[in-house]
Amino acid sequence: MTKPICYSTKAFSTASATSPLGATNIERRNPTASDVQIKILYCGVCHSDLHFARNEWGFTQYPAVPGHEIVGRVTAVGSGVTKFKVGDTVGVGCLVDSCRTCPNCRAGFEQFCDSGMVGTYGGMDKHLGTPTLGGYSQSIVVTEDFVLRMPANLDPAAAAPLLCAGITTYSPLRHWKVGPGQKVGIVGLGGLGHMGVKFAKAFGAHVVLFTTSPGKIADGKRLGAHEVVVSTDEAQMQAQAGSFDFILDAVSASHDLNAYLNLLKRDGNLVLVGAPEKPLPVAAFPLLMRRRSLSGSLIGGLPETQEMLDFCGTHNITSDIEMIRMDQINGAYERMLKSDVKYRFVIDMASLA
């Protein structure tokens, strides 16, 4: 494989699971015929970035550049690009390529590609033969089929988290047809959870937020929850037993799944989107009783991600964000570990100039 011509761009990377992130220069390929070159304006900070930077899932290769909630402006397009032009505001989410020919790719579920999707970070770059590097950088080059159109009416910074937190919650709520007449739980009011609350409300369900942080009760209601349960309060949990059609669990750390299975009705479904470092023990009986299900869901494919963005444009849905400079990222990670984010950090990439 001949290595394509590359250019250098500024980025923030980490050299090991225990090092802080710091400034560096990385190489991006010059756009090929089907590529879009994007100047990154904003990048959301997902808890997955932290899991990955610290090798909590065990597959990180260093140096690593996290970031997969990217919004930017097109600065160049290859000769074969038809969907985008210079100056367009575009998004890039968690994946930048896939085989495109397997049944899952053909059905628009590129995240489940049989050959493995190419993650925006931590994947294998087909052009360079090296690990992909994410959005904590000034510029990225992505094949046009994996670039999304951003609705013009949405604030681009507040829309950046839609590219992961948005689609990751939208997709399971849509797949399991959450809507009017259903009682739906959202567990954890973080980046994903607060989007889950907004979407479940927009889809017409009765929404109950479960939080470990009593200080988030008022925000939970403002964001759309009809009820807020403090999950550390046994009596409040007991009062909800056997009453839910669907619960979306967006917690980033170890917690008791059995307590949530017990809240489901007959045939109810607990769907995990949170990806904690350690396995979560599940007892048989909470599943056997009432024929309950335990499921999972991973981000979303390109067609559904565009559908979600368009839905957000129509309904004026974005994230509640706290803007940070790139050099504040290490402090932001520490706050994320304390559940102290309201409700997504977004990096202003101009701060990396």
Per CB under 5 A, residues contacting Zn ion are 46, 48, 98-99, 102, 105, 113, 164
Residue 11 interacts with ligand NAP (CB under 6 A): yes or no = no
Judged by beta carbon distances under 5 to 8 A according to partner kind, the member of Zn ion, ligand NAP, none in contact with residue 99 is Zn ion
Give the nearest distance from C-beta 219 to Zn ion in angstroms. 21
Q: Is the CB of residue 343 less than 8 Å from the CB of residue 189? A: yes
Residue 216 interacts with ligand NAP (CB under 6 A): yes or no = yes
Nearest Cα neighbor of 147 from 91, 70, 226, 200 is 91
Give the nearest distance from C-beta 263 to ligand NAP in angstroms. 15
At residue 32, what is the residue type?
A: T
- Phi and psi at residue 326, in whole multiples of 5°? -55, -40
Judged by beta carbon distances under 5 to 8 A according to partner kind, the member of ligand NAP, Zn ion, none in contact with residue 17 is none
Binds ligand NAP by CB under 6 A, chosen from 14, 211, 240, 262: 211
Residue 215: other Cβ atoms inside 10 A: 11
Looking at the Cβ atoms of 43 and 74, the one nearer to ligand NAP is 43
Q: Which burial class, exposed, middle or buried, applies to 101 when counting CB atoms under 10 A from its CB (0-12, 13-18, 19+)?
A: exposed
Q: What is d(CA 315, CA 332) in angstroms, rounded to the nearest whole number?
A: 29
Residue 48 interacts with ligand NAP (CB under 6 A): yes or no = yes
Give the nearest distance from C-beta 296 to ligand NAP in angstroms. 7
Judged by beta carbon distances under 5 to 8 A according to partner kind, the member of ligand NAP, Zn ion, none in contact with residue 224 is none
The site string for ligand NAP over 229-258 (x = CB under 6 A, - otherwise) reads ---------------------xxxx-x---
Query: Six-digit token pair at 83?
Result: 């969907």
Q: What is d(CA 70, CA 200) in angstroms, rounded to the nearest whole number?
A: 24
Residue 168 interacts with ligand NAP (CB under 6 A): yes or no = yes
Looking at the Cβ atoms of 151 and 190, the one nearer to ligand NAP is 190
Strand pairing report for 344-348 and 321-325: parallel
Q: Scan residues 273-332 and list those touching ligand NAP (CB under 6 A).
A: 273-276, 297-299
Beta strands in the chain (DSSP E): 6-13, 22-29, 35-45, 70-77, 89-92, 95-97, 118-119, 139-143, 148-149, 183-187, 206-211, 227-230, 244-249, 264-272, 293-296, 321-325, 344-348
Q: Which residues bind ligand NAP (CB under 6 A)?
A: 46-48, 51, 164-165, 168, 188-193, 211-213, 216, 250-253, 255, 273-276, 297-299, 336, 339, 341
